[in-house]
Every structure is written in C-alpha cells, then in structure tokens.
Amino acid sequence: MRGLLVFGRTGQVARELARRAPEALFLGREAADLTDPESCAAAIRAHAPAAIINAAAHTAVDRAESEAEAARLVNAAAPAAMARAAAELGVPFLHVSTDYVFDGSGDRPWREDDATGPLGVYGATKLAGERGVAEAGGQWAVLRTSWVFSAHGANFVKTMLRLGAERDALSIVADQTGGPTPAGAIAEALLVMARAMQAGTGGGIYHFSGTPDASWADFAAEIFARSAMSVRITPIATADYPTPARRPLNSRLDCTRIERDFGIPRPDWRRGLDEVLAELERTA
C-alpha cells in the first residue's frame, strides 16, 4: 500500500504489516520515539503520508503498573498527537487498541458502545489513547483486538511451546475467556480498513478477534494438540495465578460492526495457529 506510514517495526502486528505492505514506511523507536509524542507528530508532517497506522504500544501489562508515566506517553499521548497531525493533513489514521479497556464482567461479547472500565494502568492508558484519537477529529479508526499471537516476539503460543518442551504438566487459567487473534489477520484487517477509509468509507471504533472464543486453558490444549506435544493441563482460576495487573475475565468481543462496514469476518484462530506453528518449525 503506497503512501502508508506505520508506527512500529518489530512488534507482532508491525512485522505482519511489513509482509503484506513492504512498500510502506515503518518507523521504529530510533526514528519515532513514542515517549516524545510531538516527535511522532513531526514525523507525520515530514513524510506527508496518504494513511497512517499506529501499531506501536507499551504492551507489557504487568510492567505498566510500575511504569505508569511511560505507558501514558506511549499509549495515550503519542496516539493523540499522531491523530492530530493526521487530521491536519486530512489523511486516515488507524490505531490498534485492546479488550483491556473493559472490566471483564459478565459473559456477553463486548460491543463497541458498551461502557468501558479498565482494571489497570495498561487498559486505562489505552482507553485514554482511544479518546485522544477520537477528540483529534479527522478520519480515524480504533481497532480493539485481543490475545494476539504470531511467530514473532513474546506471546502465549511461544510461551506454551517453550514450557511444554520443559514440563509434562502445566496449570493454566481457565476462567478468562476471549478470542485469540493471529497478528497476520489483524494486519490484513488494518490494510483493508485503510484502503476503504482512503475511499471515504468507515471510521470509528471497531472490534476484531479470532473465533471461536476460548479460555487460556482451551487455547493451550489446542497448541499442544496441534504441535503433537504431550502436556497435561490442570485448569486453575485467575485467583490462583496472581499478577501485578488484574486481567479481565470476559474478553469476548462482538465483531459485527467491522464485518458490516468493511466486510471483514472474524478469523478462525485455529487456522492461524497452524500457520504460526508451521512457520516456527521452518525457522527453528
């Protein structure tokens, strides 16, 4: 996609975007410091792109609890500054957000217009970023997603493969439910949205996650089954696995709106998992 500027270069979604849009300009930390929001806005003005995707974020959920200011700059102030610069240029701005903006109550899939209620710093800063993007005006879209995985970086799939190679039994949280989402599918969705928005279609907040919804224990079982690993899983409650940041129990996302506006269906994460496992095997 010509004229596309992407913030982020080494993250899961950014790397999948680079595979699909190698002609885009990708700005890593050395070129765009998200702890300096105005430098990000300046980069947009300097490059004058046709569309912008922000695929960079402070995603260390637990560490954010002790790095609140850094998380605020990267997740809230920087996207808002980017969105203002995009609005000045009159170009589409797309921003990746998270299910952590919700409190995880109930068992109904969250809709875009449901009340938010983040449980920790990460979710609160991501929500502030969403609001900053919306307040900037212009043509914008926020894509909330969940449980991202790929063959790159740190994620649940790679953690399970590492632990499964070391142990024959694992205790996995079974009372958190959401939609595991391949980073490649997120990248594809963002590019479809960016092209449509350039043509004047769509905008606003959208949800996008893999199907079917599953617990972490379900997800782990599928990882081990599809990689032919014999690992016994003991389901446990979130309370039995304390972490610095609270996790939402219900991360289900209603993805009706994105299919209606852009024709993008929910991806089957099991197919995405097979692709990731095959890639990891090839690169081992």
Q: What are the residue numbers of the active site?
A: 122
CB contact at 8 A, 167 and 229: no
Work out the number of other CB atoms within 10 angstroms of the CB of residue 229: 14
Q: Beta-carbon neighbour count of residue 50 at 10 Å? A: 15
Residue type, 153: G
Which one-letter amino acid corresponds to residue 210? G
Q: Are 50 and 3 in contact (CB under 8 A)?
A: yes
Which residue in the block uniquely carries the two structure tokens 């092209």? Answer: 195
Q: Report whether the peptide linkage leading into residue 180 is cis, meaning its omega lies within 30 degrees of zero.
A: no
